[in-house]
Amino acid sequence: MARGRLGADRLTAYDGRVERLRSRRLAVAALLPLVLARSSAATPPLLVRHEASRMSMGSPYGADAHALPGIVESAFDEVDRIDRLMSHYQPDSPLSRLNREADKGPVPVEAELFAFIAESLRYSHESGGAFDITVGPLMKTWGFFRGEGRLPSDAEIAGVRQRIGYRHVVLDPVAKTIRFDRPGMELDLGGIAKGYAVDRAVAVLRRHSVPAALVSAGGSTVYGLGGPPGQRAWDVTIQDPVDSRKTALTVPLKNRALSVSGSDEKSFEVGGVRYSHIMDPRTARPVQGVLSVAVVTSSGTAGDALDNVLFVQGVDAGRATVARLPGAEAFFFLPEPGRAWKMVHVEGGAAAGHRPAVKSTTP
């Protein structure tokens, strides 16, 4: 059975099983059972295995050994292109330039980045600010930009609240310019860009007529294209939010994305209180009372944004959000006295066709 474990930064495949490795930056891995030619309807193709690595690992299988390496490299190239465009860690990226200059006046932005920022702001508007790409200064104040976190003073928190807020990002769709109407603002696309990178990598594979692939970026989002040979869907396991050695849930993916936000990804503890890197932009403080949220959606972009939205909103408000999204599913992992955790499963509106059953484990 082919499996992927969400939470891994790199994936590699051995005999159809996906295991995790670690990396330090955006990464994509693909397991590609690829059939480009058939000798006859009765004779299954002889699949050839190819492995490629670029801060990630892919193990595709196909009938055309010459085509596979180029396809995988093209998908990796697309991910690297998105990283160069949207990284706020790279000082020469278009996003970093925008962050440096947009509080001084309108900055021309290329069409793809402009459209992506506009889409991100739509998620902010629809969630009432639960998702907000202006959290760059907030992440620095709490020490999560290139660090493991720190507890800021109340005065620091009050100060940084003056430098965040999606309503202060002004877009001119005709001139394709963006400006900030407050000084000191910075955009951080880390909560959604990896999902977009997954979607772009999948688009490359589709253009090359790849019928089945498992694509993962950085551990936050994985997309199951088609299904592995002889199976209907990819079985992707979500790790236990308390004990990473265990599996909390197995979700089948076929032409769907699974995204996860977890409080254990980056956190610190002070005075017996644990503070995670997942912030509520409306309060400028880390979210409490949620261990992790997993979301199944039709695209990596939507899932990467939605898992953050639901983590901030919590179960009650999150139900209304998911209800507006046909075919979406959400799994809330919450602390539970006397147990490791409890899970709340929420489904969206009218389901888009039959979905394979979800397999659940209890803590």
Q: For the chain, give every domain's residue range.
A: 94-180
pLDDT at 227: 85
pLDDT over threshold 70, residue 312? yes
pLDDT over threshold 60, residue 18? no
pLDDT at 162: 96
Confidence of residue 37 (pLDDT cuts 50, 70, 90): very low
Mean pLDDT along residues 160-166: 96
- For residue 205, what are the β-bridge partners? none
Confidence of residue 355 (pLDDT cuts 50, 70, 90): low
Please give the C-alpha separations between residue 180 and each of 59, 106, 173, 335, in angstroms, as whole numbers.
Answer: 44, 8, 15, 39
From the CA atom positions of the chain, what is the Rg in Å? 21
Q: Cβ neighbours of residue 23 under 8 Å, at least 6 residues apart? A: 9, 10, 55, 56, 218
Mean pLDDT along residues 185-206: 93
pLDDT at 30: 41
Topology of the domain covering 94-180: T-fold (1.10.3980)
pLDDT over threshold 50, residue 22? no
Confidence of residue 125 (pLDDT cuts 50, 70, 90): very high
pLDDT over threshold 50, residue 16? no
Confidence of residue 164 (pLDDT cuts 50, 70, 90): very high
The answer to whether 214 and 197 are in contact (CB under 8 A) is: no
pLDDT over threshold 90, residue 165? yes
Lowest mean pLDDT among 19-28, 66-75, 131-140: 19-28
pLDDT at 359: 56
**Residue 154 and residue 165: Cα distance in Å, rounded?**
18
pLDDT at 78: 92
Give 246-269 pLDDT, tens digit per residue: 999 999 999 999 999 998 778 899
pLDDT at 168: 98
pLDDT at 350: 58
pLDDT at 12: 28
Mean pLDDT along residues 13-26: 31
pLDDT at 357: 56
Bridge-based pairing state of the strands 234-239 and 247-253: antiparallel
Residue 12 tokens read as: 């590699």
pLDDT over threshold 50, residue 36? no
Q: Cβ neighbours of residue 94 under 8 Å, at least 6 residues apart? A: 85, 86, 109, 110, 113
More confidently predicted of 363 and 119? 119
Give 293-306 pLDDT, tens digit per residue: 999 999 999 999 99
**Residue 63 and residue 80: Cα distance in Å, rounded?**
27
- Give the distance between the most distant pair of CA atoms in the chain: 72
Mean pLDDT along residues 104-130: 97
Give 56-108 pLDDT, tens digit per residue: 433 344 445 566 678 878 988 998 899 999 998 899 999 999 999 999 999 99
